[in-house]
Amino acid sequence: MQPKNARLYYKKMSQVNQEFAQRIKAIRDASTLEVPDNFIDTINRWTLESVSVMALDRQLGLLKESNKRIEATKLFHLLEDFFKVLAYIDEAVERLEKEAKEGVVRPENEQSVLEKLLKVDKKVATIMAMDMLMAGVDTTSSTFTGVILCLAKNPEKQAILREEVMKILPTRTRISRRNP
């Protein structure tokens, strides 16, 4: 994703990332600060939450223990279950179509991928959302795992990356001024 497009999802992704960080704090060993051997499960949950926010404009509640939805947990464990994925897409399509009939119009930069594609072709929109949910989780989790491993082994590079990201992303002050 290009940086200019990443900014469009900043607020929603920030919420997912904060929940991810809280989850890490909750599951890591208090003395060593190491995460458990099954940490890839948490990474996959973070990835599905992230993809869902972009594809469906909705969090599934997979990172908060107290907020896990049964359907989302099934989706997580049975990602290949085609019909569950279609149910989320159909639900999002129905919600977006209902909002359109009610005259709800979001600025272009606040629309999900599904919402933008629905204007072009409903079948393409559905297939694209399904593809993002199915293929996006595995590839993103694998890539993210490699990146955080490299950053953990190279704290000096981590500091450089943080500095670069802080230059690009909006600050809390700028966000709160734009969205009272």
CA atoms within 13 A on the CB side of 47: 23
Q: What tens digit of pLDDT does each residue of 69-128 get? A: 777 777 777 764 565 556 888 889 999 999 989 999 888 888 888 899 998 998 888 888
Mean pLDDT computed over 142-168: 93
For the chain, what is the domain count?
1
Q: Give the CA angle between residues 90, 94, 95 to the nearest 5°.
A: 120
The predicted structure's pLDDT at residue 15: 93
Q: Which residue has the higher pLDDT, 106 or 1?
A: 106
The predicted structure's pLDDT at residue 173: 58
Q: What tens digit of pLDDT does each residue of 116-133 get? A: 999 899 888 888 888 887
Instruction: Find the domain containing 89 and state its range.
Output: 3-178
Q: What tens digit of pLDDT does each residue of 7-60 get? A: 788 888 899 999 999 999 999 999 999 999 999 889 988 998 998 888 888 888
Q: How far apart are CA 134 and CA 114, in angstroms?
A: 15
> Which pLDDT band holds residue 180 (cuts at 50, 70, 90)?
very low
CATH number of the domain to which 96 belongs: 1.10.630.10
Q: Is the pLDDT of residue 163 over 50?
A: yes
The predicted structure's pLDDT at residue 168: 85
Q: Which residues, 6 or more positions from 105, have their beta carbon under 8 angstroms from its beta carbon?
A: none
Q: Is the pLDDT of residue 177 over 60?
A: no
The predicted structure's pLDDT at residue 151: 95
The predicted structure's pLDDT at residue 94: 92
The predicted structure's pLDDT at residue 4: 73
The CA-atom distances, in angstroms, between 164 and each of 1, 53, 158, 160, 168 are 16, 24, 10, 6, 7
Mean pLDDT of the chain, nearest integer: 84
